[in-house]
Amino acid sequence: MTAVLSRPAAPPLRRDRRRWAWGLAAPAAVGWALASALDGGVLNPAGGTQFGRFAGAALSPALDGAFLGVLGTAALVTVAYAVLGTALALVLGAAGAVLLARTTWGGRRLGWAAARGALAVPRGLHEAVWGLLLVNLLGLDPWVGVLAIGLPCGAVTAKVFADLLDEVPRGPYDALLAQGSGRVAAALYGLVPQATGGLLSYAVYRLECAVRSAVVLGLVGAGGLGYQLSLSFSSLRWPEVWTAVYALALLCLGADVAGRAVRRRVAAPRRRAGTLSRDRVLTAAARAALAAVARAWWFLALSPASLVSARAREQAGYVLGAAWPPAGGGDLLREVARQAVVTLQTSVLAIAVATAGAVLVAGPAARLAGRSAPGRVAGALVRAALLLLRAVPPPVWALVLLFVLLPGVLPGALALGVYTLGVLGRLTAEVVEEADARPRSALTALGARPAGAWLYGVAPQAAGPVLAFALYRWEVAVRDTLLVGLLGAGGLGALLASRLAVFDWPAVTTVLLATIALTLAVDLVSERARRALR
């Protein structure tokens, strides 16, 4: 009698309730935010003429020598702030990463959680908020721009660096511990060398972000291209506005191209005769970075003495004394809660707009092999448009949209959505570029149409990373919502600006604590969502 061998039955596919819960919660949240944004009037017909003038000036920017000279000097100021802010952020990030990595804390989870919680305070506030606070302490000193970029970006860099250290193999680290080394020394010699590529790559990316942060600080009075853009906008000189916008785009393009080149070389180290060799381009880039830091320090005429001057100490003592304890009146707390809801609605709607737009442009924007000449031209145009969207700060988009939209959630959300689309569109295009091309090629060879090959061959691979990027950008959008609110688009930012205007420091502290708490809550929700969608 012959025995019949059968394969064990495959386990049945089960519905992941967590994914379904998040899948239903996301459209419900977007619907809630959209309903609030469309409540009441939306359009402002009176501003259509001015919006037309603004749009028409895009083809006739101001190119006179005097204005271009002013923009050139302003660009140097912006670059100097970005370079020094990045240098400070990297120093703080490198120092904090070893102390924040889960690996170096071992089983002491309480200490690790406390360190991460302390880190959330500086990174929970936007660079513009730091700038406004530091102006009250230091006055119009160039240290304001450097510290406003370096402190929050340093906290973010420390978190990212710590995560990179936690991802590398622990073998060398454990071996050094076994030989009696301390945890910090073991991390420096056992973890950092393995993570060098990722650390350098993120350091270059941080410079690209610092350029945009320096522009934003210019909008609140720190000088540079952002300040010139603000002056031209307030005087309705649209040709000058577009010249400043194009200058910003070129500056961001330069940082983007340089960053891509360095990251490619870091990802693919040069080899000679089968062994690693020094990359002369990377060496030259490192020397140029050090020279740029020295040049920026000289250009801005920074003086460490101004940080500890008698005026700075006196003003810091006054502000800290006046700001604590925070205000706790019922009317203020109710207003804080109401504006926190507005901030949350604005960020949700903004990330929904940006994600939908990024999915639509990801295909054309991706650099894929085998494309026709018209496809390559269309891709270059889409990438240029995305660059322009992320080069213009969100407050400028908000001011433009307020020509044709009434104040409220909608103009702030659309301004943030347009800006975030520029960032998320680029990230989504890179995800598509790195996706395995074989499924799409196989479907095309079997006769599938391009849309079908894309839907079944690329979309399943890209869905996870794109959702992760969207959730990460939601965290950033909450902080950017505060920036848009500072210029009158509503939310906690508008409330903060009104309290700063009258030097109501206890109320300022309350609003700042509410902002940090909201940022932490969004970080927690975003982390849970990413974990469920993996």
CATH number of residue 160's parent domain:
1.10.3720.10
Q: How far apart are the first and last CA of the chain?
A: 49
How far, CA to CA in Å, does 112 sit from each of 99, 117, 118, 381? 8, 9, 10, 46
pTM of the predicted structure, to 2 decimals: 0.81
Do 287 and 361 belong to one domain? no
Q: What is the extent of the structural domain holding 153?
A: 75-269+281-321
Total domain count, the chain: 2
Do 394 and 475 belong to one domain? yes
Residue 393 Ramachandran class (φ > 0 left, ψ -120 to 50 alpha, else beta): beta
* Peptide linkage before 193 cis (omega within 30 of 0): no
Band of pLDDT at residue 274, cut at 50, 70 and 90: low
Do 310 and 338 belong to one domain? no
Give the Cβ contact number of residue 36 at 10 Å: 20
pLDDT of residue 269: 62
Band of pLDDT at residue 7, cut at 50, 70 and 90: very low
Rounded to an integer, the average pLDDT of 131-138 is: 83
Do 246 and 344 belong to one domain? no
Residue 34 lies in a domain: no
Residue 180 lies in a domain: yes
Is the pLDDT score of 276 beyond 60? no
Rounded to an integer, the average pLDDT of 271-297 is: 75
Residue 6 lies in a domain: no
State which H helix or E strand residue 275 sits in.
Answer: strand 275-276
pLDDT of residue 295: 92
Do 197 and 220 belong to one domain? yes
Residue 26 lies in a domain: no
Which among 120-129, 173-182, 226-235 has the top mean pLDDT?
Answer: 226-235
Do 149 and 95 belong to one domain? yes
Structure tokens at 90: 């990297």
- Identity of the amino acid at 294: A
* Model pLDDT for residues 201-240, shown as the tens digit of each residue: 677 778 878 888 888 887 777 778 888 888 888 888 889 8
Residue 497 lies in a domain: yes
Do 473 and 359 belong to one domain? yes
Long-range contacts of 134-138 (CB under 8 A, 24+ apart): 135/221, 136/315, 136/319, 136/500, 137/312, 137/315, 137/316, 137/319, 138/306, 138/307, 138/312, 138/315
Band of pLDDT at residue 271, cut at 50, 70 and 90: low
For the chain, the helix, strand and coil percentages under 3-state DSSP, each to the nearest 5: 80, 0, 20
Do 518 and 485 belong to one domain? yes
Is the pLDDT score of 1 beyond 50? no
* Model pLDDT for residues 305-329, shown as the tens digit of each residue: 888 888 888 888 888 888 888 887 7
Residue 67 lies in a domain: no
Do 217 and 348 belong to one domain? no
Residue 513 Ramachandran class (φ > 0 left, ψ -120 to 50 alpha, else beta): alpha
Do 224 and 132 belong to one domain? yes
Query: CA torsion, points 379, 382, 388, 389, in degrees to nearest 10?
Result: -140
* Model pLDDT for residues 355-412, shown as the tens digit of each residue: 999 888 888 888 776 677 787 888 888 888 888 888 787 888 888 888 888 777 888 8
Residue 368 lies in a domain: yes
Is the pLDDT score of 9 beyond 80? no
Do 317 and 176 belong to one domain? yes
Do 371 and 486 belong to one domain? yes
